[in-house]
Amino acid sequence: MSSMIQNAKRTKPSIFENHDRPLRVLLIGAGGNGSECFDGLLRLHCALTALGGKGLAVSVMDDDEVSPSNIVRQRFWTHEIGTNKAVALTHRANTMFGTNWRGLPIRLGPDATFSTRPDLVITAVDSLESRRTANTLFRKHNDIFWLDMGCDKDKAQVVFGRFGDNKLTDEWPCTVAHFPDLLTRVDDENTPSCSAAESLARQDLMINGAVANAAVNMLWKLMREGELAFNGVTIDLSTGLNQSIKFLPQKSSEA
């Protein structure tokens, strides 16, 4: 059984081929994890287009504005204070790289509608309720993939799966398969930090970059190499230990 787990991999779905059109990405959250992930997505887009692919078409959703306490730990600059986070990130990318990415200055809610359905949803949020909302909105579409990032002070995890694959033996187990209490657990209180010092006391300076890099690396491996050998990653900056979350062998639907 151990060798089966060790060798379990998943092959790239056709929507990640990137030959015919850009991969449509919806990034929910533009804070600590989200702003770092956005920078990674921009690098990924440039790499894919340099290799002849169509790159990414990214929409970023966040209803929060850049505050002075965000400047140290999030990927914003002082001139962007007071600007909506999603708008600030996409404006910067569009100006510097000629992309046509969209900033949506709204919060994800149960009534959210999208003119174009995403291929990939990335949740970079600090509340379980936002993850539950995303799961409710997209779980009826079994062709939408889900990259979820979560972290506390100096520990984090990332899971790449597909909405609706809620069992560990499914083809693309999503974060619900690994953390089923996500659907029922009560959210911890998470109030905004009033200063950079308070923000750094709550989360380590490097944790957001670490989890975002791990997340974008999974996309890069999948799109560049055609397969993915691991379902996710756990990160512990206090010990320096990163550990992959292996896929289990897929259970046949006839079993």
Threshold 0.85, pTM exceeds: yes
Q: How many C-beta neighbours within 10 Å does residue 71 have?
A: 16
**122 in Cβ contact with 130 (< 8 Å):** no
pLDDT > 70 fraction of the chain, expressed in percent and rounded: 89
Average pLDDT over residues 65-89: 95
Q: What are phi and psi of 133, to 5 degrees?
A: -65, -45
At 119-152, the pLDDT tens digits run: 999 999 988 999 999 999 999 888 999 999 999 8
Q: Rounded to whole angstroms, how far apart are CA atoms 123 and 26?
A: 8
Confidence of residue 205 (pLDDT cuts 50, 70, 90): confident
Instruction: For residue 235, give the H/E element and its range.
Output: strand 230-236
The yes-or-no verdict on residue 207 having pLDDT over 70 is yes
The predicted pLDDT at position 255 comes to 43
The predicted pLDDT at position 8 comes to 86
For the chain, the structural domain boundaries read 2-246
For residue 5, give both structure tokens: 């787990």
The predicted pLDDT at position 24 comes to 98
**Residues with Cβ < 8 Å from 4, sequence gap 6 or more?**
249
For residue 164, give both structure tokens: 């609706």
Q: Rounded to whole angstroms, how far apart are CA atoms 215 and 36?
A: 10
The predicted pLDDT at position 192 comes to 58
Burial 119-135 (b: 16+ CB within 10 A, else e): bbbbbbbbebebbbbbb
Checking DSSP bridges between strand 145-151 and strand 155-162, what pairing results, if any? antiparallel
The residue with greater pLDDT, 4 or 173, is 173
**234 in Cβ contact with 156 (< 8 Å):** yes
15-24, 109-118, 192-201: which is most confident: 15-24
| Domain at 2-246: CATH code | 3.40.50.720
